């Protein structure tokens, strides 16, 4: 039997949109806000809210800059975020692992 | 790259406590309320709320009966719930699969 204590699942990562953000960044390492928005098919507001939450725990960082006259926000996965994501996957595997 | 559309993740199952319930039942098929409560380390009220939600979508059924004079609630995974859980795992794997 697995470990069914739900507290082992990091809620900051588990929320569906944040899980999608973190999964995307685990592959891409960094992504432009617009690129993320398209990949996840979420609204600006929704993405901003979840990125702020992930920034608050230090899992991602956001850097605003200009490319020519266009403002751009670059979102990067931090080492803390990468570690937290790997830990999250372990907790998830311990819970659902026997079915996979 | 994976599929990062968060709508592919069934929110009824994804909630941490409900994910723990469903994972437990995928192994055990059925469980007494008290057994579930101990495995998940949740309160009566919390477990009841999440079981009602899962019952509402037909993923589990609850049968109340008496064992001697003690009331008991038997929680069972339905075929619909099992199918939904497998579909959930596919969506999850498509999102996070490349990191595992």
Separation between Cα atoms, residue B18 and residue B12, nearest integer Å: 7
Separation between Cα atoms, residue A18 and residue A59, nearest integer Å: 10
A75: domain range? Answer: 6-89
User: Which among B4, B27, B42 is the nearest to A20, CB-wise?
Assistant: B4
* C-alpha of A49 from chain center: 12
> Residue A15 domain-assigned?
yes
- Token pair of B7, please? 């709508």
- Report the gap between the CA of B100 and the closest CA in chain A (Å): 8
> Residue B99 domain-assigned?
no
Q: Which residues pair with A67 in a beta bridge?
A: A70
> Residue A27 domain-assigned?
yes
Task: Provide the number of CB pairs (under 8 Å) joining chain A to chain B.
Answer: 91
| Cα distances (Å, whole numbers) of residue A32 to A42, B20, B94 | 14, 34, 22
Separation between Cα atoms, residue B17 and residue B13, nearest integer Å: 9
Kindly compute the dihedral angle of the four CA atoms of residues B1, A55, A4, A23, in this order, to the nearest 10 degrees. Answer: 0
Number of domains comprising chain A: 1
Separation between Cα atoms, residue A82 and residue A85, nearest integer Å: 5
Note the pLDDT of residue A67.
86
Chain A residues with CB-CB distance to B99 below 8 A: 23, 26-27, 85-86, 89
> Residue B97 domain-assigned?
no
> Residue B100 domain-assigned?
no
Q: Are B24 and B36 spatial neighbours (Cβ–Cβ below 8 Å)?
A: yes
Note the pLDDT of residue A99.
47
Q: Which residues pair with B61 in a beta bridge?
A: B76
Note the pLDDT of residue A53.
98
Q: Parallel, antiparallel, or unpaired: how do β-strands B60-67 and B70-77 relate? A: antiparallel
Cβ neighbours of residue B70 under 8 Å, at least 6 residues apart?
none
Question: Which contacts (CB < 8 Å, 24+ apart) does range A43-47 have?
Answer: A46/A17, A47/A17, A47/A21
Burial class (CB in 10 A: 0-12, 13-18, 19+), A74: middle
Q: Are B49 and B33 spatial neighbours (Cβ–Cβ below 8 Å)?
A: no
Instruction: List the single residue in A with minimal CA-CA distance to B39.
Output: A4
Chain B residues with CB-CB distance to A24 below 8 A: 1-2, 4
Chain B residues with CB-CB distance to A5 below 8 A: 20, 40-41
Q: For residue range A9-52, list pLDDT tens digits in order.
A: 999 999 999 999 999 999 999 999 999 999 999 999 999 999 99
User: Any idea how long chain A is?
Assistant: 100
Note the pLDDT of residue B17.
97
- Report the gap between the CA of B71 and the closest CA in chain A (Å): 24
Chain B residues with CB-CB distance to A99 below 8 A: 23, 26-27, 85-86, 89
Mean pLDDT of chain A: 93
- Report the gap between the CA of A79 and the closest CA in chain B (Å): 15
Write the CATH number for A10: 1.10.10.10
Which regions in chain B score pLDDT beneath 50? 99-100
Share above pLDDT 70 across residues of chain A, in percent, rounded to a whole number = 95
For chain A, how big is the Rg over CA atoms in Å? 15
Q: For residue range A42-82, list pLDDT tens digits in order.
A: 999 999 999 999 999 999 999 998 888 888 999 999 999 99
């Amino acid at each position: 039997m697995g470990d069914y204590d739900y507290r082992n699942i990091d809620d900051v990562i588990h929320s569906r949109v944040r899980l999608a953000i973190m999964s995307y960044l685990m592959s891409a390492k960094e992504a432009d806000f617009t690129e993320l928005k398209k990949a996840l098919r979420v609204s600006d507001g929704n993405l901003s809210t979840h990125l702020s939450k992930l920034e608050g725990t230090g899992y991602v960082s956001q850097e605003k800059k200009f490319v020519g006259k266009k403002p751009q926000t670059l979102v990067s996965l931090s080492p803390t975020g990468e570690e937290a994501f790997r830990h999250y996957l372990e907790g998830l595997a311990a819970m659902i692992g026997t079915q996979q």
